[in-house]
Amino acid sequence: MGNDQFDGRPGCIHGSPSLRSSVTVGDGAQGEVTIRLDHRSVRKSAVTVFILAGVFLLALWLYSEISHFLFLIILAWLFAIALEPGIRALIKRGRSRGTGAAVMGGGAIVIGVVLGGWCRTTAFGGHAQTRQIAWRGDGHTRPQSCTVR
C-alpha cells in the first residue's frame, strides 16, 4: 500500500479522491456520506470498460464485414437441408450420394429457371426488358407501345 495512511475505517485511505454528500435518513436525521475511491481500482475499472468497448466495436465491425457471407452460408445450408430427402430417396434406390446430389441440384436449378421465367413473363406483365428499352426517350414523352399497368 506504500505511503497511504488508514484512518481506521476499512477501505478508507487518506489522500484518495473522495465524494461527500449530505443525506437524510428515514427518521429525518441528517448525515454525511463519504465515498473514497482507490486509484488502482479506478484505473482497473476504466481499463476494463475500455477493453470491453473495444471488443464490442471490433465485434460490430467484424459482423458488418462478414454478414453477407454469413447469409450465403446459411442459405446454402438451408438449400442442402431442402435437397436431403430427395438425395436419400435416390440413395435407397441404388444411386450414389454424388449422383443423387447432382440430380437433385440440377433439378432444383431447372425448376428455378422455369419458375423465374414464368414469374418474369406472367407476374410482371411480360416483356419487361422490351419496355425498358422502349422507354429511352427524352424523358418527357412516353412511347405509345409502352403500357403501364
Q: Dihedral sign, CA of 59, 61, 66, 70?
A: positive
Q: What is the pLDDT of residue 147?
A: 52
Q: What percent of the chain stands above pLDDT 90? A: 46
Grade residue 22 by pLDDT with cuts at 50, 70 and 90.
Answer: confident
Q: 33 in helix, strand or coil?
A: strand
115 band by pLDDT with thresholds 50, 70 and 90: confident
Residues in contact with 84: Cβ distance below 8 Å, sequence separation at least 6, in sequence order: none
Which pLDDT band, with edges at 50, 70 and 90, does 3 fall under?
very low
Please state the pTM of the whole predicted model. 0.45
And the C-alpha cell for 109? 436449378
Beta carbons within 8 Å of 142's beta carbon, 6+ residues apart: 135
Query: Phi and psi (nearest 5°) for 70?
Result: -60, -40
Backbone dihedral angles phi then psi of residue 87, each to the nearest 5 degrees: -65, -45
- Which residue has 465491425 as its cell numbers? 61
How many C-beta atoms lie closer than 10 Å to residue 146's C-beta? Answer: 14
- According to DSSP, residue 6 is labeled B
Domain boundaries, the chain: 1-37, 41-134
Residue 32 pLDDT > 90, yes or no? no
Average pLDDT score over the chain: 78
